């Protein structure tokens, strides 16, 4: 039986898990080992962000973890001011340490839930949201969060997302979940697969990529791009009109 949305992990429970996992998420290649094609997806969203906004001056990283996506973006865009948001203070501190070491722009950390943090309208040239939106719950939660991302994106700016996704039909969901299980087993064995599946069931409530692309357009983004999809993961984004 699927866990009801109101029985999923609280933000505090999610925070506690990530507080204890900083070192794993501090590696660009292995930090997302449970994610199919994680290095490729990170490369695609950061390159797309750079091509869409080559002179980004203000970047927001939602659920930044140890800062991997902002660090990857720095390989293409040499300097910018960055705001980092995460539930976990140890993650934020590690992210700031790593990013400040190579970025001449200002780096600001903000601990808390993105949905509750006040941020300026039309401010961010680039927004990253990697492996974070799957913690959203009901339709209202998803729509309000996407509306907020649109509101704070600067004219001509963009948002880029990589995440766990579900599928619109049970048959395809079953197929893709089986494929994902095979990937996890090949990576870490049956015990690892069960561990990952258990915390996904407890914590996560992903939506189809089709749902999210439609929602990006609904809240106002002008151009929508699907960069990559493999099994239960996708990389995609949207650009705001000027």
- The per-residue pLDDT for 15 is 60
96 and 86 Cβ atoms separated by less than 8 Å: no
Topology annotation, domain 5-239: Rossmann fold (3.40.50)
Instruction: State the pLDDT confidence band at 18, using cuts at 50, 70 and 90.
Output: low
**How does the average pLDDT of the chain come out, rounded?**
91
pLDDT (average), residues 151-168: 98
Instruction: For residue 24, give both structure tokens.
Output: 């794993």
- The per-residue pLDDT for 32 is 65
- Taking alpha carbons only, the member of 153, 174, 133 closest to residue 221 is 153
Contacts 24+ apart (CB under 8 A), 218-222: 218/143, 218/146, 219/143, 219/146, 219/147, 219/149, 219/150, 220/150, 221/150, 221/153, 221/159
Span 112-157, pLDDT tens digits: 999 999 999 999 999 999 999 999 999 999 999 999 999 999 999 9
Cα separation, 105 vs 127, whole angstroms: 16
């Amino acid at each position: 039986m699927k866990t009801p949305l109101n029985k999923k992990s609280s933000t505090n429970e999610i925070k506690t898990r990530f507080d204890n996992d900083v070192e794993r998420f501090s590696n660009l290649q292995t930090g997302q080992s449970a994610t199919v094609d994680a290095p490729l997806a990170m490369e695609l969203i950061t390159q797309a962000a750079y091509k869409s906004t080559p002179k980004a001056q203000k970047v927001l990283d939602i659920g930044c973890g140890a800062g991997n996506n902002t660090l990857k973006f720095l390989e293409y865009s040499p300097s910018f001011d960055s705001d980092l948001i995460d539930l976990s203070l140890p993650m934020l501190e590690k992210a700031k340490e790593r990013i400040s070491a190579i970025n001449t722009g200002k780096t600001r950390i903000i601990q808390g839930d993105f949905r509750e943090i006040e941020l300026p309208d039309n401010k961010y040239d680039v927004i990253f949201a990697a492996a974070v939106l799957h913690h959203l719950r009901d339709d209202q939660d998803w729509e309000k969060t996407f509306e907020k991302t649109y509101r704070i994106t600067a004219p001509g700016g963009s948002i880029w997302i990589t995440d766990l996704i579900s599928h619109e039909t049970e048959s395809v969901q079953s197929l893709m979940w089986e494929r994902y299980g095979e990937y996890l087993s090949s990576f870490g064995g049956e015990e690892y697969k069960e561990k990952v599946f258990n915390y996904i069931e407890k914590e996560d409530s992903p939506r189809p990529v089709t749902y999210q692309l439609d929602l990006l357009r609904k809240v106002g983004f002008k151009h929508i791009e699907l960069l990559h999809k493999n099994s239960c993961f996708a990389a995609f984004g949207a650009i705001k009109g000027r």
